[in-house]
Amino acid sequence: MPGGRLYIVATPIGNLEDITYRAVRILKAVDAIAAEDTRHSLKLLSALGIQKPLISYWSENEKARSEDVLNSLRAGFSVALISDAGTPGISDPGSVLIKKAIEEGIEVIPIPGPSAAIAALSVSGLPTEEFTFIGFLPSKSGQRRKRMEQLALEERTLVFYEAPHRIVEMSEDLLAVFGDRQALVMREISKLHEQTFRGPLSRILEELTSSTIAGEYVVAVAGMMKESVSVDVALQEIRALMKKGFGRKEAVKRVAESYGLSKKELYDKSLE
Ligand code: SAM
């Protein structure tokens, strides 16, 4: 492997105790630290008693700064990448540098730790065998609803990040598009004002609107339950399969099996 190593180091999402021994050791050992916001990271590093050359690495200058970091790595220096909170590259800058480093054969090593999505999911009580991480939805209402509509048939638990000034509006859209599904909203995980809202989206929305809206939020929503698929959606799929050349019987069989619906009921409805 040529050059130095690039460490992708997860840092706390609030509580400073949520940093691993290994993360501290690596941050102390590297030659330089690339940070999303150097002023923000200085607080963490000084709390840990770490003084290192810092390279500013934020989304706007990701391409240009990747080159600076790569030059250090090529010269044999080791660099740790950290973001403002949690795991770099997860709704945070990092992917450009990581991709380039991999292309150059530089060793990229994860130093695992907190991520808000996983923390929220772990206490959601929603199915976690499979889940889909969406991160931030578009900020404009029309585009946001459109994206939600694309996700409406997703069967896996969905995980979103949202800014405080949009959390109520976003939850209203979720209720309108997904119906009253089970969900979780978590605010300020691991911080003083940590708050957890669980239950059907309608109840969460009521509680949210009467709560203090501030800080950071993660939202997890149950995926579409197969049984809850409406007969209309199933009929649309049957029509689509028939257009592709499937016979009615075969199309009904496939859709009924996929959604756990009654074949006879669907067949009769498809004739209406
Ligand atoms: N890289 C981070 C991670 O691994 O979780 C995510 C960074 S992203 C720019 C910031 C978003 O993550 C926030 O807007 C919020 O949705 C979520 N987030 C980060 N810290 C959080 C916390 N302590 N509580 C709730 N949500 C948090």
Residue-level pLDDT at 2: 57
The preferred substitution site among 216, 217, 219 for testing ligand 1, maximizing ligand atoms within 8 Å of CB, is: 216
Is 166's C-beta closer than 6 angstroms to any atom of ligand 1?
no
Ligand 1 contacts CB of residue 18 (under 6 A)? no
d(CA 5, CA 190): 31
- Cβ–ligand 1 contact at 94 (below 6 Å): no
**CA end-to-end span of the chain, whole Å?**
66
Q: Whole-angstrom Cα distance, residue 204 to residue 184?
A: 8
CATH no. for 5-114? 3.40.1010.10
Cα separation, 55 vs 36, whole angstroms: 9
Architecture of domain 117-224: 2-Layer Sandwich (3.30)
Q: Which atom of ligand 1 is nearest to the CA of 114?
A: 4
Please give the Cα distance from 247 to 4 (Å, whole number): 61
Instruction: Establish whether residue 218 lines the binding site of ligand 1, counting it when its CB lies within 6 angstroms of any ligand atom.
Output: yes
Candidate of 41, 59, 87, 91 to mutate for ligand 1, largest count of ligand atoms within 8 Å of Cβ: 91
How many other CB atoms are found less than 10 A from the CB of residue 66?
21
The model's pTM is 0.85
Phi-psi region of 219 (alpha: psi -120 to 50; beta: other; left: phi over 0): beta
Beta strands in 13-163 (DSSP E): 32-35, 54-56, 79-82, 108-111, 131-136, 157-162
DSSP 11: B
> Is any atom of ligand 1 closer than 6 Å to the C-beta of 186?
yes
pLDDT of residue 256: 80
> Measured from the CA of 10, which atom of ligand 1 is nearest?
4
108-111, strands of its sheet edge to edge: 54-56, 32-35, 79-82, 6-9, 108-111
pLDDT in tens, the chain (272 residues): 557 999 999 999 999 999 999 999 999 999 999 999 999 999 999 999 999 999 999 878 888 899 999 999 999 999 999 999 999 999 999 999 999 999 999 999 999 999 999 999 999 999 999 999 999 999 999 999 999 999 999 999 999 999 999 999 999 999 999 999 999 999 999 999 999 999 999 999 999 999 999 999 999 999 998 655 667 778 888 898 999 899 999 999 888 876 667 888 889 989 98
